Amino acid sequence: MRAFLHGRRQLACVLFLSLFSLAAAAMECIVPAKPGGGMDGACKMMRKSLPANPGKEGADVRISYLPGGIGAVAWSSVVSQRRGGPDTLVTFSGGSLLNLAQGKYGQAAVSDVRWLAGVGADYGMIAVRSDAPYKNLRQLIEAMRRDAGKITIGVSGTVGSQDWLKVALIARRANIDPRNFRFVALEGGGDSFTALQADHVQMISGDASEAAAYIKEGKFRVLAVLSEQRLPGPLADVATAREQGYDVVWPIIRGFYMSAQTPDADYRRWVAIFDQTMASEEFQRQRAASGLYPFAMTGAPLTEYVRKLVEQYRKQSQELGLVR
């Protein structure tokens, strides 16, 4: 009997590993942006982490790029079934959820797709040059209160973007109208730090993972991170905005969704694959190397998390007059 049970366990293990290998080998990962950047990085991180092909480095994952409309083209293609299938995943970020909340994907709803896995998180941050007179967020906000137009703020994107909203929410907590601030739209985190170093802007709103890489140069000072608690690693000594009296938390999750037409069996298969992968030491190494912080959620809990976050973004956008 013991031998029989042992044999069944071995068979179950072999079947699961075979399923794991076949699923990942057939995987297509759609990046709704141009190559480079965080969403591309999420696909590449999973390609290195999925243990699908023994003897090779990572899984056989085909990455496809489908930019346009800040993610709207990829969303529409999957929802309309022009693209997608039981082994096609689309990567998303907190910015994708913000665009969904603001109606930038048209008459779209959270339920239009199947939310598969959240694989990591980043957080907002506020930074200045290391020679700036501001030692903390409160000093910066008080200077902006005295003369809102004196300090130019660099953000990725335009009015209503994630970086813009981070500053606007802090301003609201300080009873300051963000419409009085001077914003400069930049192309991304790299451009933001370049503009800050050149003094084209005096502060920037960006992501903690970007800041962790740049502060090593000693040219910048991070005044606050927008996380629930202090972050590990290079930013461990940076106080949260909440600690400094501004109750603003801005998580930036990265993850994957699938077509709503994906059969239940395939969806459950992929949930199991991600649960297994994210519990591995290799995945945790790859996540850290990608500059992301721990966040692991799949299936129904992730779907509910996304629903609440989109609703939160919608309310925040309404408060700031960005949507009706």
Sorted by where each begins, the domain ranges of the chain are: 2-121+251-319, 123-235
Cα separation, 68 vs 9, in Å, equals 47
Residue 53 confidence class, pLDDT cut points 50, 70, 90: very low
pLDDT at residue 25 in the model: 47
Instruction: Identify the CATH number of the domain defined by range 123-235.
Output: 3.40.190.10
Would you call 220 helix, strand, or coil by DSSP?
Answer: strand
Evaluate whether 190 touches 214 at the Cβ level (below 8 Å). Answer: no
H or E stretch at 153 = strand 152-156
pLDDT at residue 287 in the model: 92
* pLDDT higher than 50, residue 20: no
Cα separation, 241 vs 26, in Å, equals 43
Average pLDDT across the chain, whole number: 86
pLDDT at residue 58 in the model: 54
Cα separation, 74 vs 299, in Å, equals 21
* pLDDT higher than 50, residue 270: yes
pLDDT digits (tens, 9 = 90+) for 31-41: 988 887 778 88
- Asked whether the domain spanning 123-235 has the same topology as the one spanning 2-121+251-319, the reply is yes
Per 3-state DSSP, the chain is made up of helix, strand and coil in percentages (nearest 5) of 45, 20, 35
Residues in CB range of 129: below 8 A, 6 or more apart: 196, 197, 199, 202, 219, 220, 221
* pLDDT higher than 50, residue 199: yes
pLDDT digits (tens, 9 = 90+) for 216-237: 889 999 999 999 999 988 899 9
What whole-number percentage of the chain has pLDDT above 90? 56
Evaluate whether 147 touches 255 at the Cβ level (below 8 Å). Answer: no
Cα separation, 146 vs 206, in Å, equals 24
* pLDDT higher than 80, residue 4: no
The answer to whether domain 2-121+251-319 has CATH 3.40.190.150 is: yes
pLDDT at residue 11 in the model: 43
* pLDDT higher than 70, residue 299: yes
H or E stretch at 41 = helix 38-49
**Whole-model pTM?**
0.77
